[in-house]
Amino acid sequence: MKKQAIFGGTFDPIHNGHLHIAYEALYKLNLDKIIFIPSGSPPHKSNKKITDGYIRYEMVSMSIRDEKKFELSDYEIKKKGLSYTYETLEYFKNKFPQVKWYFLTGVDCLMELNGWKKIDAIMDICEFVVFNRPGFDKCDILKQKARVEEKYNKKIIFLDIPLLDISSTDVRRLIREKKNVRYFLPEGVYNTITQLKLYT
């Protein structure tokens, strides 16, 4: 059975930290493929301004095109209405029932999991994988992981990987402050942001 992971996110913009996480997950979990899915209308960011979906899609595309085990989907961008994780997972599970699915997300999502819709369905469809992020204490992460595992009677995989202290929020802030972000981003992404004057 093939093992594939869904890596969802706003990717506004995608940066080298995202790619680092994807490579770590690819090899640590022995995955056949990782599918990047830029979010359409995430419910938790419905009151925030997000860059047009197809601009974010193109930035992801140019970042992963040289990696055969990375793929890109516009499922959530095309989908009407809010983008719920359980719906995305159900779509891919139904389309590719022979695949063992993993869902890759940051520990910030693990900490806020009670606010998610149909968590039971998510846990039933896939192996839930969380990676550490700057600003989170490992002890707190493991306590929350244990609580969620007990509540839903499911195992969660914690990827304790070396951190690149980069976030899309920081990238956008640095651009507004007219600071150099070239080394945080794939070259094509940096060029697109510069040409379109994004985040200024």
The mean pLDDT value for 112-138 works out to 92
The mean pLDDT value for 117-138 works out to 92
Residue 57: pLDDT over 90: yes
pLDDT score, position 17: 95
Domain boundaries, the chain: 3-196
Average pLDDT, the chain: 93
Residue 139: its H or E element: helix 138-152
The fold of 3-196 is Rossmann fold (3.40.50)
Whole-angstrom distance, CA of residue 66 vs CA of residue 47: 35
pLDDT score, position 163: 79
Within 8 A by CB and 6+ apart from 61, the residues are: 72
Tell me if 125 sits within 8 A of 90, measured CB to CB.
yes
Residue 148: pLDDT over 80: yes
* HSE-up (13 A, CA, CB side) for residue 145: 20
Give 14-32 pLDDT, tens digit per residue.
Answer: 999 999 999 999 999 999 9
The mean pLDDT value for 1-24 works out to 96
Give 68-112 pLDDT, tens digit per residue.
Answer: 999 999 999 998 888 899 999 999 999 999 999 999 999 999 999
Residue 45: pLDDT over 70: no
pLDDT score, position 14: 97
Report the predicted TM-score, pTM, of the whole model to 2 decimal places. 0.94
pLDDT score, position 47: 55
**Greatest extent of the chain over all pairs of C-alpha atoms, in Å:** 49
Instruction: pLDDT band for 160, please (50, 70, 90 cuts).
Output: confident
Cα 30 to chain centroid distance, Å, stands at: 18
Within 8 A by CB and 6+ apart from 142, the residues are: 158
Whole-angstrom distance, CA of residue 182 vs CA of residue 200: 15
pLDDT score, position 133: 85
H, E, C per residue of 147-179:
HHHHHHCCCEEEECCCCCCCCHHHHHHHHHCCC
Whole-angstrom distance, CA of residue 185 vs CA of residue 35: 19
User: What is the token pair recorded at 153?
Assistant: 């009677």
